[in-house]
Amino acid sequence: MPTTERPVVTLRAVARHAGLSLATVSYALRAHPKIPLSTRELVAAAASDLGYRPNSRVASLMAHLRGARVLPQAERIAFVWVHTSRRVAAENFYLRAVFKGAAARAERLGFALEEFWTDDPGMTEPRLQEIIVARGIAGVLLSPVLTSETSLALDWDWSQFAAVVIGNVTWTPELHHVGHHHFLAMRTVLQELEKLGCARPAAVVDAVIDERAKHAWTGAFFANHPDPARARRLLYFHDAQRSRGLAAWLRESGADALIVSAVAQLSAPGVRAVCQRKQLQIAALRWPGNLPVAIAGIDQCDDLLGAQAVELLIAQLHHNERGPPRHPGMMLFPGQWVAPAPAAPAPQQKTRPASRP
């Protein structure tokens, strides 16, 4: 039975329907800041009336062309630092890696990031929204947060923005996310430790991060532990109040390996001494690529999170999607395993030549 193909609606047809120039319509569909919001809404209505669908191959080509030349005024994306000071945003290794990945991908695709801070002195959430809207910015990236919050909200009219959250913290209303795949990361660490001969790995897990990740770390630990009957006794929830008891727990655990969610947990009183005495293999769920620490772990590829968040946001802008999505999506990346550094060979003792009789 022959299929009936829908006629292709061109950009020129949308321009005629809206009574605007072809260039204006093209810029409006990409939410360019030089096009007023009222004009963008008019073009969006005309495109919807005609059933216009952008050609993905053309969009890809144009993105490549925009990225291949220096633009006098690149389209801007707001990178909003949520509950993060300017100092922390500038100094934290993880946050800078995320931002650099986002900035590099935005530039490659013909966009530019502009930074904003919710915690600037005198700044309020409605005021910040007014500033971003006044600058003609429709796309917003929301930064990861280092605070103990497990859910966040901003007093904004989200219908004016396409938005993507970087990280796993819950938002109200819920938005699209790009984040780390904590479950697969923990499973990978357990599998790799088993290959190294570890049968009783213990894990020290940051309770706040595990809750943000919907208990993915702990779920993977219980589901993939080589000794399921002992798994619960080999799991320790870490926080500032409990760090003093960590060494005693580890000493009595009978573990032959230690998984930490952050290398800083090894600095709890007595922990390094226990690891050295028991010769525990150590693996970090966040491998500290910025520190000279010879341990194994997961490189979470923070720059990739920023880059993919930009890709997801630009896709929304190309499709003229605004407001909280009806079906929020979550794009997760497990990172990659970094093998432990080989042990340094023991120094050879010099032997004295035998004395002649």
User: Does the pLDDT value for residue 73 go beyond 80?
Assistant: no
3-state secondary structure of 59: helix
Distances (CA, A) of 292 to 94, 100, 282, 288, 296: 16, 22, 14, 8, 12
- At 57, the pLDDT band (50, 70, 90 cuts) reads very low
Burial of 140 per CB tally in 10 Å (0-12, 13-18, 19+): buried
Res. 59: pLDDT tops 50:
yes
Helix axes 93-108, 302-318, angle to 10 degrees: 40
pLDDT confidence of residue 42: 86
Say what the pLDDT of residue 56 is.
Answer: 47
Mean pLDDT of 239-253: 81
In the predicted structure, residue 218 carries a pLDDT above the cut 50? yes
Alpha-carbon gap, residue 84 to 344, rounded angstroms: 41
Q: What is the distance between the alpha carbons of residues 33 and 136, in angstroms, rounded to a whole number? A: 4
User: Is the confidence at residue 54, as pLDDT, over 70?
Assistant: no
Q: Is the pLDDT of residue 164 over 70?
A: yes
pLDDT band at 275 (very low <50, low <70, confident <90, very high): very high
Peptide bond preceding 173 in cis form (omega within 30 of 0): yes
The answer to whether 47 and 10 are in contact (CB under 8 A) is no
Beta strand pairing status for 201-206 and 235-238? parallel
**Mean pLDDT of all residues belonging to the chain:** 86
Cα gap 14→8, rounded to integer Å: 11
pLDDT of residue 330: 94
Examine the pLDDT at 196 and tell me if it is beyond 50: yes
d(Cα 118, Cα 125) in Å, to the nearest integer? 7
Can you give the pTM of this predicted structure?
0.76
Look at strands 139-142 and 75-81 and give their pairing: parallel
170-192, pLDDT tens digit by residue?
999 999 999 999 999 999 999 99
Provide the residue type at 160 as one letter.
Q
Measured CA to CA, the distance from residue 293 to residue 338 in angstroms comes to 12
Name residue 276's amino acid: Q
Q: 100 CB contacts (<8 Å, ≥6 apart)?
A: 303, 306
Helices (H), the chain: 11-18, 22-29, 37-50, 56-67, 86-91, 93-108, 125-134, 182-195, 207-212, 216-224, 246-253, 271-278, 302-318
* DSSP-derived secondary structure letter, 69: S
pLDDT of 71 higher than 50:
no
Q: Is the pLDDT of residue 284 over 80?
A: yes
CB 292 within 8 A of CB 198: no
- Please name every residue paired with 101 in a beta bridge, in sequence order, or none if there are none: none
Mean pLDDT of 59-78: 60
Q: Residue 348 has what pLDDT? A: 59
- pLDDT value of residue 257: 97
Six-digit token string for 230: 């002992």
Residue 70, pLDDT score: 46
Question: How many CB atoms lie under 10 A from the CB of residue 287?
Answer: 22
Spell out the domains of the chain, with CATH numbers in brackets: 11-53 (no CATH), 75-180+303-333 (3.40.50.2300), 182-299 (3.40.50.2300)
For the segment 111-160, what is each residue's pLDDT rounded down to a tens digit?
999 999 999 999 999 999 999 999 999 999 999 999 988 899 999 999 99
Confidence tier at 48 by pLDDT (50, 70, 90): confident
Average pLDDT (13-18) is: 86
Please give the Cα distance from 175 to 277 (Å, whole number).
47
Instruction: Write out the two tokens for 180.
Output: 């780390």
Cβ(35)–Cβ(28) under 8 Å?
yes
